[in-house]
Chain A
Amino acid sequence: MAHFPIAGLIVFPLLGALVSLALSKRWRTVMSFILITALLLNNVSLLFQFYGQGTFNEAMGNWSAPLGIELRVDGLALIFSLMSALVASVCALYACVYLSATQLKLFWPFFWFLWAALNSIWLSSDLFNLYVGLELLSLAAVGLVALSRDATSLAAALRYLFAALLGSIGYLLGVALLYATYGTLSLPELSQHFSLTLSSAVALGFMCIGLLMKTAVFPMHSWLPPAHGGALTPVSALLSALVIKASFYIVLRLWTELSLEIASASAGMLMGILGSAAILWGGWMALNQTHLKLVIAYSTLAQVGYFMLIFPLLSPVDAHASHLAFQGGVLMLLAHALAKAGMFLAAGNLLFCSGQKDLKSLAGLSRYRPLNIFAFGLAGVSIMGLPPSGGFNGKWLLIQSAMLQSQWVWVAVIIMGSLLSAAYIFRVFSYTYREVEGGDSFKQPAAVLEWTALSLSVLSILLGLASMLVLDLLPISAVVAQ
């Protein structure tokens, strides 16, 4: 047990996958929750270990890299690991009430593989391990999308699968080129020898395009709305909150560890432009949807755009402003995970009540399910970036960073994006306030479903007051330019 608690992050989910394939219906759920508890405890003990000794590496089975697998725990990895533990366990709780028995049987193995893949991505510092994690993640996510087994979700799953495979191949091609040039796949080693030559630029180009495709960055986003909007509710929450973050996380790692902001300013600009387009396009499309879950799916698209604004704001000259942008981006990622998961779960409850997907069917629900509307609203506050919320704090730091560097364009984009998101969220909200004749025949969701949604939304608000706890985990040296 020498490698615990770090190894537990990978071992427990894999164990969960095996168990849920092998055991009977009842034991499957029981074992899953035991393992979820174990994972949560595991994360907490890892946090304390980190508080004690700071960043550390651990070679699995004492086989050192390159042949062995080495895991790395630093502040960023820890934040993402905690985030996925939180969101995944709440979604699991929701799922085991929400899903039917047959759906649940398929849900558990995919869910566990998903979690294993996420953790391996957060903890790996090796480009090839990251590839394996990405593939496992995509396959588990595609499986989850197909869970409802009707034609629409199958089409969405297939489209998603093709996009994800294409993205993986792009990434792998880049990895092959990098290995040919530098003879290593470990990020820390690579960062020592790295210089931006033509071949490494092509390699990184392939990798970034592949990863951004998996993150659904504009204009490679068209697979996302049907997949996230059409999946079963707990799956939508997992996908929007966690899965797209994984590929983005790798881009962020590459960028900061290889100090790409020094190597090329125009690449950062390009990322910023893509992000801006995503913010405006996603917001606009969300405003024009008639189905509730599609509104939220397009909102994810817009939020991804905000994450992309980190890159142009990482500056080779202004270390303070860069640091602000990095902190802001991480807060945005975290706040989005909590708020979007909470929002999807709340939306799932609302749709369950009315039995339809349409926004119009929400009329009268704010009277019937005030707590649920409140959960939706709180998540909305964070998504809009209004204070006090994690979303606001993230946005504030990004704006501060842009102002200090006089990059006014990004300020303008962030502001316009906020107004757009306010428009589409209040649009949903106002539908629930409508009073119509005969709109009082609703089904009642189980209390667990409402409280799980509310808990995530409340967390996204509390993050606005407790941002320092998160930011203290990030080392200042993560982005400071040399």
Chain B
Amino acid sequence: MSSYLIFAYGGVGLCGIGVFGFILHSHLLRRLIAFNLLGSGTFLILVGLSQSGRGQPDYIPQALVLTGIVVAVAATALALVLIRRWAALTKHATLPEDQGPS
């Protein structure tokens, strides 16, 4: 087992935590963090899996992940703006269907 595969397995683990977090939490910020975990996990898988079993380090996945991170940052920023506006408007940090009877 190469060291790269460890990254990949780590990525799978992160993804698992992310999915778990997304299902478990209804707080919008927590959900967003869960998404970021999912994303990071996927990037690790992308880099880790494709490096294993090849002699030379592969530069393409690294370039891709770099792009991916930029996209993820943009998505997170947009989500934060929306969540902030939502919280300011409704005084809630969760979506209506997750608020339960109160």
Contacts and interface: CB of A to CB of B under 8 A. Distances in A.
A183 interface: yes
B75 A135 contact: yes
Contacts of B28: 158
Contacts of A66: 60
Contact of A172 (B31, B46, B78): B46
A158 B35 contact: no
A434 interface: no
B82 A161 contact: yes
Contact of B50 (A166, A173, A183): A183
Which one of A146, A159, A173 has the highest number of Cβ atoms from chain B below 10 Å of its Cβ? A173
Nearest to A159: B95
Which secondary structure dominates where chain B touches chain A? helix
Nearest to A66: B60
B66 to A, nearest CB: 11
Nearest to B89: A151
A154 B42 contact: no
Contacts of B90: 151
A30 to B, nearest CB: 28
B33 interface: no
B24 interface: no
B71 A67 contact: no
Contacts of B35: 162, 165-166, 169
A154 B63 contact: no
B50 A172 contact: no
Interface string A163-177: 001100100110111
Which one of A128, A149, A185 has the highest number of Cβ atoms from chain B below 10 Å of its Cβ? A128
Interface in B41-90: 42, 45-46, 49-50, 52, 54, 58, 60-61, 63-64, 67-68, 71, 74-75, 78-79, 82-83, 85-86, 89-90
A157 interface: yes
A139 B74 contact: yes
B50 A180 contact: yes
Interface in A110-146: 128, 131-132, 135-136, 138-139, 142-143, 146
Interface residues of A, number: 34
A179 interface: yes
Contacts of A371: none
B86 A176 contact: no
B45 A173 contact: yes
Given A158-B82, A169-B42, A177 B49 contact: yes
Nearest to B36: A165
A320 B74 CA distance: 45
Contacts of A83: none
Contacts of B50: 176, 179-180, 183
A155 interface: yes
B71 A155 contact: no
Nearest to B61: A179
A176 B42 contact: yes
A158 B75 contact: no
A179 B50 CA distance: 6
Nearest to B71: A135
Nearest to A146: B82
A176 B42 CA distance: 8
A176 B46 contact: yes
Nearest to A152: B96
B16 interface: no
A92 to B, nearest CB: 22
A142 B78 contact: yes
Contacts of B78: 139, 142-143, 161
Contacts of A151: 86, 89-90
Contacts of A172: 39, 42, 46, 68
A159 B54 CA distance: 41
A14 B86 CA distance: 29
Contacts of A177: 45, 49
B60 to A, nearest CB: 5
Contacts of B68: 131, 172
16 contacts: A128-B67, A132-B71, A150-B89, A155-B86, A158-B82, A158-B83, A161-B79, A161-B82, A166-B38, A169-B42, A172-B39, A179-B50, A179-B60, A183-B50, A183-B58, A185-B60
Interface of B: 15, 22, 28, 31, 35, 38-39, 42, 45-46, 49-50, 52, 54, 58, 60-61, 63-64, 67-68, 71, 74-75, 78-79, 82-83, 85-86, 89-90, 95-96
